[in-house]
Chain A
Amino acid sequence: MGERTKVLEVDDVTLRFGGLTALDSVSLHIDEGEILGMIGPNGAGKTTAFNVITGVYRPTSGQVRFLGDPLTGLKRHAITKRGIARTFQNIRLFGAMTALENVLVGTDVHHSAGVVSALFRTPRHRREEAEGHEAAMELLEFMGLASRADELASNLPYGDQRRLEIARAMATGPRLLCLDEPAAGFNPQEKAQLMDLIRRVRDRGFTVLLIEHDMRLVMGVTDRIVVLEFGKKIADGTPAEIRDDPAVIAAYLGVDEDAS
């Protein structure tokens, strides 16, 4: 197998908030078509790393390159248009809009019809609406939410809201899909279904960055795992390698003092 395209490269990134170093010269990359897991104990800097990748935070030093180009200076919405989409740890849907409308907002990233097009119902407006509608319904179908398309997002059950967030992010047509603890609040059965779903998302050609707490979920679904602790990367490898890594075991289980 030849060298795969690197979708994202994080190059020696440090991020400080005042005196606190949230990320300490972290380097990592994501290959096209893989599911990369990012794990670490609470406060390890997972969400911070995630926010640097998606452009919410600017690194203090170092560089994030997406498809070879640095992301510095781009507005957050422009980064999404370039091809990075995300979900949120605490669900942040547009509650007063329907499930379908939520996904349509995602598809609108690549649309350009404005007020004048809308007023005169120009061919471009019609074409974009039709395309968006079709793509959005297809995604809802894929997520098993098609029957709920016209329900308000805030009225959906918790699990459906999680899936709707993923659908909304996928609708932007990202080259990199970032999922921030998508299994939070799920029971084991729902987690298993989610793992299956994430694999199917990857099989549709998406590259996935998965932040997750649940070790079993991460081990089961990812191709490669990056482990963070106290803002530093302490391991990077396949699930099997990570499982046996002494540093990871220490970070997760603590050093067992009684046994010594």
Chain B
Amino acid sequence: MGPVRTALDAMARRWAGMPRGARVALVVLLAAFFYVLPLVRPPVVTTQQIDFGGVMFGIAAFALVAVGLNIVIGYAGLLDLGYVGFYAVGAYTTGVLTSYQFHWSFFAALPVAIVVTMITGVLLGAPTLRVRGDYLAIVTLGFGEIIRLAVTNVEWVGAAAGIKDIPHPPNIGPDPEPPFGTGGLFTIPSLSWDGLVPSVDTGRETPFLVFGAVSAIPYYWLVLTVLILVLVADRLVKDSRVGRAWEATREDEDAAELMGVPTFRFKLLAFALGAAIGGLSGALYASSQGGYINPQSFPLLLSILFVAAVIVGGAGNRWGAVLGGALVAYLPERFREFSDFRLLVFGLALMILPVYRPQGLLPPRRTIRARAAQEEIDELEGRESAQKEVL
């Protein structure tokens, strides 16, 4: 773990030292890389036993959730153990509006789902954000369960059977005509690999842009695009009075209040924005390839995995959240050959990581700098005591 840790830190430090233009170029390249990744299907990385496009969709969706939860946990320091509740509210709002009760289109339902989830966040936050720390964790834990039990028992939202036939996002270009017409403006072939030799695989084509059963990749592209937009928004908000107020509240709530920060209002804002992103992810999930949700889609375990993603990645750093979310979604799929043991391996990985990397894989710059300073101090003290010994 030592070398990994050093390498990650070195990467983070080099990143901080790069000129702005280079950083923008690198981010654009990185984004392009991720757009084509499921088409390139590089060996080793690609999952063999399960559709790689679908796995990439899961990764992007999990990363999006982690970025949203990072606002709540990482920035504002509020431990939310019921985040799956917001995810469920977003998914169910979409399901009800587009399929179960009404027949709206996906893009009409999406903003409503976001707003409804945001309001849910405010309704949950307004009474509960007055309690702190552990108590907030317990209250939010209850919230996640309440939502799940509520949708299990309310007929109007499908009860235990759930909601099926949730429409996909609209296609670009002609619709597919089964059995042979793939639809879309054109199709993009994937690569397949024989060892390290790539070849074009015409049997595995992605129609651009059809959200259907043929390929999961268009769903992935949609979520990836949303993720990028959310990351930009996250950066703009964090780097402002709002972000400072969140951090001050997290660091010392009383001191922040006495420095004129209306801490309650800002905590509520973090909760509402986090909820909105959770709802957005839920809506995307509901209209994904399966088009089916039921109460079992939103177990407590999912909340815990969301929190694990943020913590493993590095709470307070948006790139850490992305990486954490990606890992939590990817590892169990990559190691499917371990079949039932894969969750054991995954659990072990989650246990080992915090031991060797307590601040997460990509900690925010503050912890990197704090540690650098501490090492410097240790070194100086070491030198001093060594001198004393000599004397």
Contacts and interface: CB of A to CB of B under 8 A. Distances in A.
Interface stretch (A65-73, A114-122, A184-192): A114-122
A121 B236 contact: yes
Nearest to B273: A115
Interface string A111-133: 10111011101000100110010
Interface string B366-381: 1101100100000000
A17 B248 CA distance: 30
Contacts of B242: 114-115, 118
Given A97-B248, A121-B236, A129-B240, A108 B260 contact: yes
Nearest to A51: B258
Given A121-B236, A155-B369, A97 B258 contact: no
B255 A77 contact: no
B261 interface: yes
A92 B244 contact: no
Nearest to B372: A155
Contacts of A111: 241
Interface residues of B, number: 33
B244 A97 contact: yes
A54 B373 contact: no
A203 B366 CA distance: 36
A101 B236 CA distance: 16
A95 interface: yes
Nearest to B370: A152
B252 interface: yes
A105 B366 contact: no
A28 B63 CA distance: 58
Contacts of B260: 77, 80-81, 85, 106, 108-109, 172
Interface string B129-170: 000000000000000000000000000000000000000000
Interface in A24-82: 54, 56, 75-77, 80-81
B233 interface: yes
A215 B177 CA distance: 90
Contact of A152 (B237, B240, B366): B366
A96 interface: yes
B360 to A, nearest CB: 14
A154 B370 CA distance: 8
Interface residues of A, number: 41
A230 interface: no
A97 B255 contact: no
B257 interface: yes
Contacts of A54: 258
A104 B260 CA distance: 11
A92 B254 contact: yes
A76 B269 contact: no
Given A96-B251, A97-B248, A121-B236, A105 B259 contact: yes
Nearest to B254: A92
A105 B261 contact: yes
B304 to A, nearest CB: 25
A80 B233 CA distance: 30
Contacts of B250: 96
Interface in B273-325: 273
A168 B259 contact: yes
Nearest to A106: B259
Contacts of B364: 96
- Residue among A108, A117, A121, A151 with the highest chain B CB neighbour number at 10 A: A108
A68 to B, nearest CB: 21
A155 B262 contact: no
B247 A119 contact: no
B270 to A, nearest CB: 10
B329 interface: no
A151 B306 CA distance: 32
B245 interface: yes
B256 interface: yes
Nearest to B367: A96
Contacts of B373: 151-152, 155
A108 B263 CA distance: 13
A168 B251 CA distance: 15
A86 interface: yes
Given A94-B256, A118-B236, A105 B245 contact: yes
A56 B248 CA distance: 18
Nearest to A76: B257
A163 to B, nearest CB: 16
Contacts of A172: 259-260
Contacts of A169: 259
- Residue among B239, B240, B244, B258 with the highest chain A CB neighbour number at 10 A: B258
B370 A85 contact: no
B247 A94 contact: yes
A91 B373 CA distance: 20
Interface string A143-177: 00000000110110000000000001100100000
- Residue among B241, B250, B257, B367 with the highest chain A CB neighbour number at 10 A: B241
Nearest to B77: A96
A132 B370 CA distance: 25
Contacts of A96: 247, 250-251, 364, 366-367, 370
A137 B259 CA distance: 18
A114 B242 CA distance: 6
Q: 6 closest pairs, A vs B, by CB?
A: A109-B260, A118-B240, A80-B260, A94-B251, A92-B255, A155-B373
10 contacts: A80-B259, A93-B252, A94-B248, A97-B248, A97-B251, A113-B240, A118-B239, A118-B241, A119-B233, A155-B370
Given A96-B364, A115-B237, A118-B241, 6 more contacts: A77-B260, A85-B260, A94-B255, A97-B244, A108-B245, A118-B243
Interface of B: 233, 236-237, 239-245, 247-248, 250-252, 254-263, 269, 273, 364, 366-367, 369-370, 373
